Amino acid sequence: MIGRTLRLAMIGCVLVAASVTGLQRAFPPLAGGDPAPDRVELGRLLFFDPVLSADGTLSCAHCHRPDRAMADGRPRARGRNGVVLERNTPTLYNVAFKDRLMWDRRAASLEAQVRLPLFRTEELGADPERLVARLEAIPAYQDRFSAVFGEAISIDRIADAISAFERTLVSQRSRFDRYAAGDRGALTVAERRGLSLFRSLNTRCFECHRLPTFDAPLAIGIGVPSMDPGVAGAGGNPVQTGFFGVPGLRNVALTAPYMHDGSLATLDDVVDFYRKGGGRASGLSAPRVHEHIRAFDIGDDEAADLVAFLGALTDESQRPRVPNSVPSGYPVLEEDS
């Protein structure tokens, strides 16, 4: 009886805490369950191994760097031989929970996405047969593939392993999450004001950047001025010209510069862009600019609060370790922090 009362009291306590904020949401469970550790470890080695590129100069990690919150800090990515690509490198935190990947949403799964940078000449530029042959010639890879998958090395199994690694890149323990769970002191007063603004009908940030990942399974135009056709260029409807997927905002304070083309240098610039009506400020209108993107009137101090709140979404507790060496023997990415 006493046990029962206590248990009820505890449940009550949790409910009270959650209802204080109403912000706590569980991350969706992974479709295939948590990835097996040996698969993740193989994926991690491949992710950091320049053997994946045609000339041994580039790995996934050269653009998705652990010391840059799995992005690269550049406006637009730099591929092999320094060629500047079209788009900004997104973070890989919480990619496990996205319904589609890439700024234009053209990849339907992580497994499918791996093939895009892997085979694109300007990125890793790998040739499927040659890559498999090179990995087969490295005993450490041969052993690991057969231990993990019980079959020969193939592009499918490479993609499986890398995707398993990517699914471990979860960011869900920010100060915001502690606040959402009922710990009011986890956010400063300014950050709490910023959260209210973020959720207000004035800014409407919450309509697209939704709990718990701060993204949404939508293609949206906000009117960042660029010639990029976005979703329309990836088999979408021409009406979706300049539409992009909604990026998640966790760890966003660490992943400047911003937007698909890296054209906004800081979070202050981002808030300024929205405050002036997004693309409406440069003369764009619907459907190019979504109806929820409208100029709103907030003071500079409130804009600063909004930026402060975005800073409370930082959590790198699952930051991956850079391997000391990789089975190919190629030099591994050097981190500067």
Q: Between residue 230 and residue 249, which ones bind ligand HEC under the rule CB under 6 A?
A: 244, 246-247, 249
Give the one residue of 40, 45, 96, 102 binding ligand HEC; rule: CB under 6 A. Answer: 102
Q: Between residue 67 and residue 86, which ones bind ligand HEC under the rule CB under 6 A?
A: 77, 79, 85
- In degrees, rounded to 5, the angle at the alpha carbon of residue 179 between the alpha carbons of residues 187 and 196 is 65
What's the rounded Cα separation, in Å, for the pair 202 and 229? 29
113 binds ligand HEC (CB under 6 A): yes
255 binds ligand HEC (CB under 6 A): yes
113 and 101 in contact (C-beta within 8 Å)?
A: yes
Give the one residue of 48, 97, 103, 176 binding ligand HEC; rule: CB under 6 A. Answer: 103
What's the rounded Cα separation, in Å, for the pair 175 and 123? 36
Q: For ligand HEC, give the closer residue by CB, 117 or 212.
A: 117
Q: Kindly indicate which of the ranges 31-39, 113-121, 127-135, 140-148 contains the residues binding ligand HEC, using the contact rule CB under 6 A.
A: 113-121
Rounded to a whole number of angstroms, the minimum distance from the CB of residue 181 to ligand HEC is 23
Rounded to a whole number of angstroms, the minimum distance from the CB of residue 331 to ligand HEC is 16
Q: Would you give the binding string for ligand HEC spanning residues 18-57, x where CB under 6 A is met? A: ----------------------------------x-----
Cα separation values, 224 from 128, 169, 184, 229, 258, Å: 36, 28, 35, 11, 10
212 binds ligand HEC (CB under 6 A): no
279 and 223 in contact (C-beta within 8 Å)?
A: yes
Per residue in 145-180, is it b (16+ CB within 10 Å) or e — as a string? beebbeeebebebbbbbbbbbbbbbbbbebbbbbbb
What's the rounded Cα separation, in Å, for the pair 46 and 60? 8
Q: How many residues bind ligand HEC (CB under 6 A)?
A: 54
114 binds ligand HEC (CB under 6 A): yes
Which residue do the tokens 């800014």 mark? Answer: 203
209 binds ligand HEC (CB under 6 A): yes
What's the rounded Cα separation, in Å, for the pair 92 and 80? 20
216 and 246 in contact (C-beta within 8 Å)?
A: yes
Residue 314, Cβ density class (10 Å: 0-12 exposed, 13-18 middle, ≥19 buried) = middle
Residue 235, Cβ density class (10 Å: 0-12 exposed, 13-18 middle, ≥19 buried) = exposed
Residue 131, Cβ density class (10 Å: 0-12 exposed, 13-18 middle, ≥19 buried) = buried
Q: For ligand HEC, give the closer residue by CB, 92 or 164.
A: 92
What's the rounded Cα separation, in Å, for the pair 11 and 316? 30
117 binds ligand HEC (CB under 6 A): yes
205 binds ligand HEC (CB under 6 A): yes
Rounded to a whole number of angstroms, the minimum distance from the CB of residue 132 to ligand HEC is 14
Q: For ligand HEC, give the closer residue by CB, 109 or 188.
A: 109
Rounded to a whole number of angstroms, the minimum distance from the CB of residue 117 to ligand HEC is 4
Torsion of CA 166, 168, 173, 174, to 10 degrees: -20
207 binds ligand HEC (CB under 6 A): yes
Rounded to a whole number of angstroms, the minimum distance from the CB of residue 201 to ligand HEC is 11
289 binds ligand HEC (CB under 6 A): no
Residue numbers at the binding site for ligand HEC (CB under 6 A)? 52, 58, 60, 62-64, 77, 79, 85, 87, 89-90, 92, 95, 98, 101-104, 110, 113-114, 117-118, 123-124, 162, 166, 203-205, 207-209, 220, 222, 224, 244, 246-247, 249, 252, 255, 258-260, 267, 270-271, 274, 290, 292-293, 306
